[in-house]
Chain A
Amino acid sequence: MKATVVGAGGLGGPLALALGAAGVELVIVDPDVVEVSNLHRQIQFTASDVGEPKAPVLAARVSRAGGRAKGYRLRWVLEDADDLSADSDFIVEGSDDPTTKFAVADWAVARGKPYVIAAAVRFGGNVLVGGPGTACYRCLFDEPVAADTCAAAGVLGPVVGAIGGAAAALALAAARDEVRGNLGTLYAFDDLRASPDPRIVRFSPRAGCPACAQRKAS
């Protein structure tokens, strides 16, 4: 099984390590380099990685743990999507860029692949699981404008590990079709300091959703 992990930071780290250890062959994509300010939450990196590109460093870490991964220092954009991800069985998004989240979801919908969109801010996060024939990310949220980002609101270090781990488990289940009914679902983890239980939001296709319309047209 193959997958693309978009983002090699706080969410991408645990995602890639968990999926790689589970035997999934990975393409990891991230345009950034490791900064000192990342180290409290991006525990896949060490001080000696500062200044190095995140994606190749993370891929090497996955490989040292026995997995298979390639890392690319670039931003995942639709123009390159087929080159990077066409042979992926599923795709997982863990960047902090709203535009990238929508691009990944739209591409996955068009290609009929399972996908997971993960995010973490402050003490909680969201994990959306989508796949063929179900309501999509754009059915739930109309536009790539986020309510909040880590840069604006901060994030508690352990939260990204927990959300990344949950996203990995949900992605594997979706890709293997193990959990009936988890496609088209948002898992909203409100405050992990208070409760690990998410609010489970099952949502319906939205009339006029452009991503779903494009899928039907193709």
Chain B
Amino acid sequence: MATIRVPSALRLLTANQADVDVDAPTVRAALAQLDQKHPGILKKVLDGDAVKPFIRIYVGADDIEALQGLDTPVAARDEIAIIPALAGGR
């Protein structure tokens, strides 16, 4: 099982669950599984078939944009981190 690390800013959609285990061959499939478990989160992360411009996704230490994008392979025990730009602070 790989693990998706859901950022604090998106955990309202996962009932505050930080880690979601998935069994998927690619990042795309992993995100689809995440959305099956927590409907609605996918549209916060993707615009159609692309990662939203204010979100980065890492597999381990690597940005998927430097790998194969959403088709980046995912192995068991990989950590998939969703990292959004934040704007709060006032």
Contacts and interface: CB of A to CB of B under 8 A. Distances in A.
B87 A101 contact: yes
Contact of A119 (B55, B56, B86): B86
Contacts of A97: 87
Contacts of B87: 95-98, 101, 119, 121, 146, 148-149
A194 B44 CA distance: 24
Contacts of A123: 8
Given A143-B53, A190-B8, A119 B89 contact: yes
Interface in A170-196: 186, 188, 190-191, 194
B3 to A, nearest CB: 13
B83 interface: yes
A163 B7 CA distance: 16
A147 B44 contact: yes
Size bin of chain A's contact surface: 35 or more
B84 interface: yes
A96 B5 CA distance: 24
Interface residues of B, number: 26
Contact of B89 (A32, A95, A188): A95
B85 interface: yes
B56 A150 contact: no
Interface string A102-121: 00000000000000001111
10 contacts: A7-B89, A10-B89, A95-B89, A97-B87, A121-B86, A141-B56, A147-B86, A148-B88, A188-B83, A204-B66
